[in-house]
């Protein structure tokens, strides 16, 4: 079958780094780390696994960061190359092992991509997984699978940028009839948004600033509103279509940062003041009680620190690289609390009970009226991956919110 794979070798990495600014297409031409290849479908690792035929494979900002060689080499010891990309997965059961549970061929499923203790074959969970913190699994290089944080970064499982993949029974969730395939594709990023929202829940009288109106920024906004937050939510977006999307999801105010000044805007809405150092970037006295940084760039991280009020909280939700040009003085000067929120867990607290994030996301889509299907603005055949990756890297002109590879069901 055809699959889009990422293979990190020093020569390929060097070629991509040297030429990506002059010729971005080099990154997926086959000369750098990403290319379309013919591979055999992966074998079932055990009887508690199932084979899934892909219906939709989402194109995520993390995937684009990997392909663009922006992701820090920090993660390389936790991956086994080459791997098939794609961790947002909607599919149908093709076959299942004897211990995989009761499945019928053709059943619709969404796959939780995290490869924690259970998928790795451990009957006794590590300390993190025992607490339900499967995003912090201590064994992501161990067990019956090759190293990999999740499906889409593991050599043995394949990923959704291919026709087939394998999934452990603990990763499989039935899609209710009321939830469309398109909404199901947003379950994984919506689960991430739920984790972010619940990790630093705002009080109703607080102001939340979300920096970035890509998929994670928007699903964080959707999660806050779906869970009942009445906090004032401000969003910084780069493009007009992102402004419209954030307004649709319930933001109180949205700014296009390409046409207006974010510092003056945030200060004006929070009763703060913009101050100018002798040299360097401006500082805001005042600002948001809670800032959620969903971009991962150096500039966005630096802005998040400067736009958060004294004693405020900041959530790093965008995937950062090796930070250059981030002034951490605000962290000290304003006594900020900074936390990170990565992926999702099985201990999301809501309405007096603990939820698996995927169960909560599905519940809110099925019973809470959450509709995110409209966020899928672009669909591509796998063979058209070069056009798909160009479009994902040119959102200003393509107006892409969420792109996906679409397969025949």
CATH number of the domain enclosing 256:
3.40.50.720
78 plus 151 within the same structural domain: yes
pLDDT given for residue 75 in this prediction: 85
The answer to whether residue 395 sits within a structural domain is yes
Average pLDDT of the segment spanning 124-128? 97
- Model confidence at 91, in pLDDT bands (50, 70, 90)? very high
* 391/396 Cα distance (integer angstroms): 9
23 plus 171 within the same structural domain: yes
pLDDT given for residue 303 in this prediction: 96
The answer to whether residue 347 sits within a structural domain is no
142 plus 181 within the same structural domain: yes
Average pLDDT of the segment spanning 136-141? 96
**Are the C-beta atoms of 164 and 94 separated by less than 8 Å?**
yes
- Model confidence at 76, in pLDDT bands (50, 70, 90)? confident
The answer to whether residue 359 sits within a structural domain is no
CA dihedral 349, 353, 356, 362 (to 10 degrees): -100
Residue 59 has pLDDT above 90, yes or no: yes
58 plus 154 within the same structural domain: yes
Secondary structure element (H or E) that encloses residue 38, with its range: strand 34-38
The answer to whether residue 348 sits within a structural domain is no
pLDDT given for residue 321 in this prediction: 77
> How confident is the prediction for the chain on average, in pLDDT?
95
394 plus 285 within the same structural domain: no
Average pLDDT of the segment spanning 6-15? 92
Residue 409 has pLDDT above 60, yes or no: no
- Model confidence at 322, in pLDDT bands (50, 70, 90)? confident
Residue 407 has pLDDT above 80, yes or no: yes
179 plus 257 within the same structural domain: no
204 plus 131 within the same structural domain: no
The answer to whether residue 121 sits within a structural domain is yes
pLDDT given for residue 71 in this prediction: 84
The answer to whether residue 360 sits within a structural domain is no
* 259/77 Cα distance (integer angstroms): 41
pLDDT given for residue 223 in this prediction: 98
The answer to whether residue 353 sits within a structural domain is no
Average pLDDT of the segment spanning 336-340? 95
Residue 228 has pLDDT above 60, yes or no: yes
217 plus 143 within the same structural domain: no
| Chain segment 96-119, per-residue pLDDT in tens | 999 999 999 999 999 999 999 999
315 plus 379 within the same structural domain: no
Whole domain around residue 262: which residue ranges?
Answer: 192-340
206 plus 181 within the same structural domain: no
* 82/266 Cα distance (integer angstroms): 44
The answer to whether residue 7 sits within a structural domain is yes
Tokens of 301: 């991280």
36 plus 146 within the same structural domain: yes
% of the chain surpassing 70 pLDDT: 100
Average pLDDT of the segment spanning 275-287? 92
Total structural domains in the chain?
2
- 3-class SS at 244? helix
Residue 46 has pLDDT above 90, yes or no: yes
CATH code of the domain covering residue 121: 3.90.180.10
Which of 317, 340, 363 is where one domain is finished?
A: 340
pLDDT given for residue 377 in this prediction: 97
Residue 73 has pLDDT above 90, yes or no: no
Which of 316, 340, 364 is where one domain is finished?
A: 340
156 plus 182 within the same structural domain: yes
pLDDT given for residue 96 in this prediction: 96
Secondary structure element (H or E) that encloses residue 243, with its range: helix 240-248
Q: Which string of DSSP letters, residue by residue, matches 182-224?
A: HHHHTHHHHHHHHHHHHHTPPPTTSEEEEE--SHHHHHHHHHH
Question: Is this prediction's pTM over 0.75?
Answer: yes
């Amino acid at each position: 079958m055809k699959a889009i794979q990422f293979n990190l070798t020093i020569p390929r990495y060097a070629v991509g780094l040297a030429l990506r600014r002059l010729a971005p297409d080099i990154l997926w031409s086959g000369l750098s780390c990403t290319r379309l290849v013919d591979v055999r479908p992966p074998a079932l690792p055990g009887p508690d696994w199932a084979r899934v035929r892909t219906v939709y494979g989402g194109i995520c900002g993390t995937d684009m960061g990997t392909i663009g060689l922006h992701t820090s080499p920090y993660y390389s010891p936790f991956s086994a190359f080459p791997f098939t990309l794609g961790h947002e997965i909607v599919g149908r059961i093709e076959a299942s092992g004897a211990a995989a549970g009761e499945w019928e061929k053709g059943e619709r499923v969404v796959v939780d991509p995290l490869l924690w203790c259970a998928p790795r074959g451990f009957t006794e969970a590590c300390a993190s997984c025992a607490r339900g913190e499967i995003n912090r699994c201590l064994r992501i290089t161990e067990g019956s699978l090759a190293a990999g944080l999740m499906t889409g970064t593991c050599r043995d499982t394949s990923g959704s940028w291919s026709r087939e993949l394998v999934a452990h029974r603990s990763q499989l969730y039935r899609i209710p009839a009321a939830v469309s395939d398109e909404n199901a594709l947003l379950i994984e990023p919506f689960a991430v948004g739920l984790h972010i929202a619940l990790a630093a829940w705002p009080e109703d009288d607080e102001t939340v600033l979300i920096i970035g109106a890509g998929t994670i920024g928007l699903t964080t906004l959707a999660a806050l509103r779906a869970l009942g937050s009445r906090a004032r939510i401000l969003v910084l977006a780069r493009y007009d279509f992102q402004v419209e999307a954030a307004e649709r999801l319930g933001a109180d105010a949205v700014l296009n940062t390409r046409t207006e000044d974010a510092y003056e805007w945030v200060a004006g809405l929070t009763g703060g003041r913009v101050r100018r150092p002798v040299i360097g970037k401006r500082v805001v006295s005042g600002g948001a009680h809670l800032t959620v940084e969903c971009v991962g760039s150096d500039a966005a991280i630096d802005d998040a620190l400067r736009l958060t009020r004294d004693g405020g909280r900041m959530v790093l939700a965008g995937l950062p690289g090796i930070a250059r040009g981030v002034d951490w003085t605000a962290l000290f000067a304003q006594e900020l609390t900074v936390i990170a929120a990565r992926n999702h867990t099985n201990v999301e607290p809501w309405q007096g009970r603990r939820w698996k994030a995927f169960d909560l996301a599905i519940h809110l889509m099925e019973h809470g009226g959450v509709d995110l299907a409209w966020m899928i603005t672009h669909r591509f055949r796998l063979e058209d991956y070069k056009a798909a990756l160009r479009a994902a890297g040119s959102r200003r002109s393509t107006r892409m919110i969420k792109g996906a590879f679409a397969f025949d069901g």
